[in-house]
Homo-oligomer: A and B are copies of this chain.
């Protein structure tokens, strides 16, 4: 058997693919706009299908518009599947690496495995999951459909006026919304799911670390808080007769980060959306509403801060709080994390174990299938913007560790 140290991905081929697909939907100054099932996304999907076919993969488009490229590498049959993938769709005015890196790297891994004639304990699938970025309604549509966790109803609803639901746009690929359930597969067929992605944060970048072995994906709790006061003339209402909603709400803008920092270093809490009404210079705010978002791997921490917030809300007159949603964190597979760490070490790369602060397709599979994610640093942590950037050697590092992880998992399966 070939020495794993000699099996190397092609950095040039990877970078060339990234640049080819990065041109689809790109415009100067506005970055990449390749929202799911738009013309640009359909073009990217067609580009990928061709690339997969050229690489000798058996390509199909499933009932949820996911693209699946199968490489039969299994030594024995029936064989399980090691799925490697991510998504080619982007946010509006996004970057060329979020999602695309994971898809193109998966393809590169399959190519190298095929070129070296490597036989594995399972078949490999390269997957492009559809609508990760919530173009129509909620995101991770394709991955949730594949693991049978998509509520059929939700594809008929769009998140905003003027945006078609997923059910409409999927017809552009000749897919019948009524049959989306057929995309669901038995979790038991998967040996594992792997995804390479840019960190979308600044930890690896700031600390100069090459690889993040993702331990899990943080939970997200969101609450809508409304503080009611009384709108009144800002010129004629004396200070002592005012009930100013902004003045009542303001302390929590300062308190939230204090509560979160006091609780845990791993946790974040953000108020990113604030509305002050009626919003006129000469009218005392009668209403101040905002959304509090908490993220952490630990349910206990989120519940604790939620309770502190709830107590604060209760102590303020005219203040109410409602739960928008509470999505708990998912842990990725300890065995896969360990394989990633071993792979990074074998390749001589620096790495840390770290949670993902953002959601990913892998998250859909994690409760049912052993999953692993590999992060590479992105410049200044910027993502979802035209400035999103990684260096060619960083893309190659990530792809090489992804490939080595596959080989490492194979080795472990055969032990």
A218 at the interface (CB under 8 A from B): yes
A253 at the interface (CB under 8 A from B): yes
* Chain B residues, Cβ within 8 Å of A247: 253-254, 257
* Chain B residues, Cβ within 8 Å of A274: 246, 274, 276, 279, 285
Interface range on chain A: under 10, 10 to 19, 20 to 34, or 35 or more? Answer: 35 or more
Tell whether A234 pairs with B282 under 8 Å between CB atoms, given A260-B239, A276-B272: no
CB < 8 Å: which of B282, B293, B383 contacts A270? B282
Tell whether A237 pairs with B201 under 8 Å between CB atoms, given A246-B253, A246-B274, A276-B272: yes
* Chain B residues, Cβ within 8 Å of A244: 257, 270
* Chain B residues, Cβ within 8 Å of A232: 202, 381-382
- CA of A285 to CA of B293, assembled, Å: 13
Interface string of A222-265 (1 = CB under 8 A from B): 10000000001111111111101011011101100100110001
- CA of A268 to CA of B251, assembled, Å: 20
* Chain B residues, Cβ within 8 Å of A291: 281
CB < 8 Å: which of B206, B234, B270 contacts A234? B270
A114 at the interface (CB under 8 A from B): no
- Asked if B279 contacts A276 (CB within 8 A), the reply is no
- Asked if A235 contacts B220 (CB within 8 A), the reply is yes
A273 at the interface (CB under 8 A from B): yes
Interface string of A339-362 (1 = CB under 8 A from B): 000000000000000001111000
* Chain B residues, Cβ within 8 Å of A265: 238-240
* Chain B residues, Cβ within 8 Å of A238: 201, 203, 265, 268
Known: A235-B268, A239-B260, A272-B281. 13 other contacts (CB 8 A): A201-B235, A202-B236, A203-B238, A234-B268, A235-B295, A235-B358, A236-B357, A237-B268, A239-B268, A247-B257, A250-B253, A273-B281, A274-B276
Interfacial residues, chain A to chain B (CB-CB below 8 A): 199-203, 206, 218, 220, 222, 232-242, 244, 246-247, 249-251, 253-254, 257, 260-261, 265, 267-274, 276, 278-285, 291, 293, 295, 356-359, 381-384
